[in-house]
Amino acid sequence: MATYLEFIQQNEERDGVRFSWNVWPSSRLEATRMVVPLACLLTPLKERLDLPPVQYEPVLCSRQTCKAVLNPLCQVDYRAKLWACNFCFQRNQFPPAYAGISEINQPAELMPQFSTIEYIVQRGSPTPLIFLYVVDTCLEEEDLQALKESLQMSLSLLPPEALVGLITFGRMVQVHELSCEGISKSYVFRGTKDLTAKQIQDMLGLTRPVVPVQQGRPLQPQEQPPISSRFLQPIHKIDMNLTDLLGELQRDPWPVTQGKRPLRSTGVALSIAVGLLEGTFPNTGARIMLFTGGPPTQGPGMVVGDELKTPIRSWHDIEKDNARFMKKATKHYEILANRTAANGHCIDIYACALDQTGLLEMKCCANLTGGHMVMGDSFNTSLFKQTFQRVFSKDFNGEFRMAFGATLEVKTSRELKISGAIGPCVSLNAKGPCVSENELGIGGTCQWKICSLDPSSTLAIYFEVVNQHNAPIPQGGRGAAQFVTQYQHSSTQRRIRVTTIARNWADAQSQLQHIEAAFDQEAAAVLMARLGVYRAESEEGPDVLRWLDRQLIRLCQKFGQYNKDDPNSFRLSDSFSLYPQFMFHLRRSPFLQVFNNSPDESSYYRHHFARQDLTQSLIMIQPILYSYSFSGPPEPVLLDSSSILADRILLMDTFFQIVIYLGETIAQWQKAGYQDMPEYENFKHLLQAPLDDAQEILQTRFPMPRYINTEHGGSQARFLLSKVNPSQTHNNLYAWGQESGSPILTDDVSLQVFMDHLKKLAVSSAS
């Protein structure tokens, strides 16, 4: 364990956990003075090639309030066949099956390398996965056709036992019965009326009717097929039917007059989908996949009226409190999302339209249930098609990269308490001794439900050190946390993944260096960013920025080395050096800045930011910029306007966009067609290199990024120009005309100015 960097990396590899602090301040007071909270990013289902699941039940601590899982940190008395819980110190008998254990014959969960272990448990009968397509039919013919094809294609990707259902909507909502011969049958609902789950189930005939007792006719309930079977059928049975049905889908037939939006009943459609699953398959893994091509324009959850002359709400409208449908719609979708989450189902939103589609209002559906959110311009784009296809991608075991109905429980040793979590989850409101009163994110609980997750889903979990200053922890004492994730694997198995970690305590007064050295600035940046974004959802943007700034200044004051009131003397140690820069870019990021973004886009960005793992999150905060030139192999360069040079090709990855930018000269060369001349084959290779790299990123990322190929002066270059640090602008004329990059026309502060101010403020004795 050479450096903390390696330690951190190793830990992440093994456990999918990144802590902001890897040595923990041992008292509450000290911990609060650290500015960045003790927290971690947890990727519960991080893919582990080297982790074969064990086929038995975990052993639990017998204390009712604890129930921690046996783990390598537990003290074991092999002779007495006892083990002591490392969280509550309860001594537990091993179960009979463990009679044969000894130091040399240890079960896997006691081996140190299995700090993360996965159990496969047999509970109840396995229920097939459920996919319920909710399809908007108010689309352009071309779009609808593309969507239909995608859907038909997806049928072949689904596991054959999976149950599928189809709901289409436009002005009306149709729930299609899938097992009909001779006549296709659907239940139709008005798109303007909100229905309770009970009503929906009644109307769909899902509640078993009170069978009238016919005289002389004994009741034979057995002969009735499961009531839900009409709407959700195993794919292998109705493959053809459904394919035909999808093929026959027509655009919404109701006329749309000039100057109107089509009437789209997204709110009701979702409500029905939720109600349908709620009534038939509660607490089984199910995906509601909503495909929508525009904003909901009627009924509950409507986001905009059908008059085209009234544009859909913008941030400006929202600030002016001028978005008349927003609150109501948001509420509608929130209620739906919570119901869905309570049932363990998830909602995916695939929104493809040039205008906004109401993601702002609907975001909670995906956010709270762990569903996907995909935003595109059209269903007839590779962005959508490939993204959608990737939903059904399989891992190296040939299993779907999706899991359902997970609950994450966090257990901590006594010095720690849990403040909350931020991620695609909802609280299960499980109070316990380790739940803190101070909430950060979704708090007040030690259990969360994550209705759907994939190997990259990452939660931020925030802790609070509760150990009092006057009760020092003995030297060498370690704090521990255990993450227990129970979920339904895509193979329909129930599995439990247990991760147990421990970190050293340190006295922040005497051993601040240790703590400082064990700071994980990347994790800290992401954790702080999540907090900031979480706040931004409910607070005014400037407030959040101010809060971030203050935190940053306080951190610098705490960990910087400087002389009072001498900005030039300010220094930060290596483990903190990048942090301000992250904060700089975070401040400029679309997660906190709404300028130039529609509310939908902001929601989309924030949605992904709140669920991606650390690496991806960092890319989102501070995009990566690679430079390709004849002067050497591709290299990462500063995300700075000075990196934009004429003889370079730049490749920027912002997570959401991949931008390839040809410098001025390169672009001219390309126009001149040099790449086609055999003597300039190296130029051709140069041009090709970023394309190949981009392709690689595109292949792996979900959702698929927008791919932008542009050049100096191109309109799309704005994607790059808006991201780079504006070190050269029209304001600092000294750089004007020099060969040091390309000026950005902006009034935004550059990193340098930012840092100058930061130093000034950090060293100021006034603050």
Partner 1 sequence: MSVNQQAHTGLPYGQPQPGYQGYQQSGYGGQQMPGVHHSQYGAYNGPLPGYQQPAPPQGTLRAPPTSGAPLPTSGAPVPAGQPVYSQFGQGDVQNGIATSAVQMQRPSASQPFIPGTAPTPVSQPATFQQYGPPPTSAQQLTNHMAGMQIGSSTSAPPPAGLGYGPPTSVPPTSGSFTATGSGLYTSYSSSQGPPPVTMTHGLPPTSLSQGLSLAQPAFSGPPLSAQRLPQAPGFVPPPCSTGIGPSSYPPTTGAPRPSTMQGSQLPGQALTGLPTSQPNHVSSPPPHPSMSGPAMTGLQGPPPPTHPSQSGYQMQQNGSFGQVRGPQPNYGGAYPGTPNYGSQPAPPPPPKRLDPDSIPSPIQVIEDDRNNRGSEPFITGVRGQVPPLVTTNFLVKDQGNASPRYIRCTSYNIPCTSDMAKQSQVPLAAVIKPLAMLPTDETPPYLVDHGEPGPIRCNRCKAYMCPFMQFIEGGRRFQCCFCSCVTEVPPHYFQHLDHTGKRVDFYDRPELSLGSYEFLATVSYCKNNKFPNPPAFIFMIDVSYNAVKSGLVRLICEELKSLLDYMPREGNMEESAIRVGFVTYNKVLHFYNVKSSLAQPQMMVVSDVADMFVPLLDGFLVNVNESRTVIVSLLDQIPEMFADTRETETVFAPVIQAGMEALKAAECAGKLFIFHTSLPIAEAPGKLKNRDDRKLINTDKEKTLFQPQTSFYSNLAKDCVAQGCCVDLFLFPNQYLDVATLGVVPYQTGGTIYKYAYFQLETDQERFLNDLRKDVQKEVGFDAVMRVRTSTGIRATDFFGAFYMSNTTDVELAGLDCDKTITVEFRHDDKLSEDSGALLQCALLYTNCAGQRRLRIHNLSLNCCTQLADLYRNCETDTLINFLAKFAYRGVLNNPVKTVRDTLINQCAQILACYRKNCASPSSAGQLILPECMKLLPVYLNCVLKSDVLQPGAEVTTDDRAYIRQLVSSMDVAETNVFFYPRLLPLTKVDVDSDTLPAAIRNSEERLSKGDMYLLENGLNIFVWVGVNVQQGLIQNLFGVSSFNHISSTLNTLPVLENPFSKRVRSIIDMFQAQRSRYMKLIIVKQEDKLEMLFKHFLVEDKSMSGGASYVDFLCHMHKEIRQLLS
Closest approach, Cβ 188 to partner 1, in A, equals: 3
Q: Does 202 bind partner 1 (CB under 8 A)?
A: yes
Instruction: Give the residue, chosen from 17, 138, 204, 352, that forms a contact with partner 1 under the rule CB under 8 A.
Output: 204
Alpha-carbon 450 to chain mean position: 11
Closest approach, Cβ 335 to partner 1, in A, equals: 20
Q: Which strand (E) or helix (H) includes residue 422?
A: strand 416-422
CA distance 550 to 558: 12
CA-nearest of 122, 112, 90 to 411 is 90
From 206-214, 357-365, 528-536, 653-661, span contacting partner 1 (CB under 8 A)? 206-214
Q: Which of residues 119-138 bind partner 1 (CB under 8 A)?
A: none
Q: Does 281 bind partner 1 (CB under 8 A)?
A: no
User: Which residues neighbour 457 within 8 Å (Cβ) at sequence distance 6 or greater?
Assistant: 43, 44, 45, 370, 423, 424, 450, 611
Q: Does 255 bind partner 1 (CB under 8 A)?
A: yes
Question: Coil, strand, or helix at residue 76?
Answer: strand
Closest approach, Cβ 216 to partner 1, in A, equals: 14
Q: Does 211 bind partner 1 (CB under 8 A)?
A: yes
Q: Does 189 bind partner 1 (CB under 8 A)?
A: yes
CA distance 312 to 240: 39
Q: Does 474 bind partner 1 (CB under 8 A)?
A: no
Q: Does 188 bind partner 1 (CB under 8 A)?
A: yes
* Residue 447: DSSP 8-state: E
CA distance 295 to 312: 8
Alpha-carbon 20 to chain mean position: 19
CA distance 476 to 498: 24
Q: Does 205 bind partner 1 (CB under 8 A)?
A: yes
Instruction: Give the residue, chosen from 212, 398, 476, 542, that forms a contact with partner 1 under the rule CB under 8 A.
Output: 212
Three-state SS string over 491-556 comes to CCCEEEEEEEEEEEEECCCCCHHHHHHCECHHHHHHHHHHHHHHHHHHCCHHHHHHHHHHHHHHHH
Return the number of the residue (217 or 309) whose C-beta is nearest partner 1. 217
Q: What are the φ and ψ backbone dihedral angles of 607, each rounded to 5 degrees? A: -55, -45
Count of residues engaged in binding partner 1, rule: CB under 8 A: 27
CA-nearest of 645, 653, 657, 648 to 693 is 653
From 195-203, 307-315, 332-340, 669-677, span contacting partner 1 (CB under 8 A)? 195-203
Q: Does 633 bind partner 1 (CB under 8 A)?
A: no
From 77-85, 105-113, 188-196, 490-498, span contacting partner 1 (CB under 8 A)? 188-196
From 76-84, 202-210, 304-312, 539-547, span contacting partner 1 (CB under 8 A)? 202-210
Q: Does 172 bind partner 1 (CB under 8 A)?
A: yes
| The CA-based dihedral angle spanning residues 690, 696, 697, 701, taken in that order and rounded to the nearest 10 degrees | 160
Return the number of the residue (162 or 272) whose C-beta is nearest partner 1. 272
Q: Does 185 bind partner 1 (CB under 8 A)?
A: yes
Q: Does 643 bind partner 1 (CB under 8 A)?
A: no
- Written as six digits, the tokens of 602 are 């902001």
Closest approach, Cβ 254 to partner 1, in A, equals: 6
CA distance 666 to 209: 73
Q: What are the φ and ψ backbone dihedral angles of 74, each rounded to 5 degrees? A: -75, 145
Instruction: Give the residue, chosen from 114, 187, 325, 579, that forms a contact with partner 1 under the rule CB under 8 A.
Output: 187
Q: Does 166 bind partner 1 (CB under 8 A)?
A: no
From 200-208, 293-301, 695-703, 739-747, span contacting partner 1 (CB under 8 A)? 200-208
Binding mask 224-253 for partner 1 (x = CB under 8 A): ------------------------x----x
121 beta partners: 494
Instruction: Give the residue, chosen from 123, 190, 431, 718, that forms a contact with partner 1 under the rule CB under 8 A.
Output: 190
Q: Which of residues 425-444 bind partner 1 (CB under 8 A)?
A: none
Q: How far are the Cα atoms of 142, 178, 285, 347, 391 from residue 156, in angstroms, in the given order? A: 22, 17, 19, 21, 13
Q: Does 221 bind partner 1 (CB under 8 A)?
A: no
Q: Does 254 bind partner 1 (CB under 8 A)?
A: yes
CA-nearest of 292, 358, 293 to 328 is 358
Q: Does 207 bind partner 1 (CB under 8 A)?
A: no
Closest approach, Cβ 245 to partner 1, in A, equals: 10
* Interface contacts to partner 1, rule CB under 8 A: 172, 174, 180, 182-190, 193, 195, 199, 202-205, 209, 211-212, 214, 248, 253-255
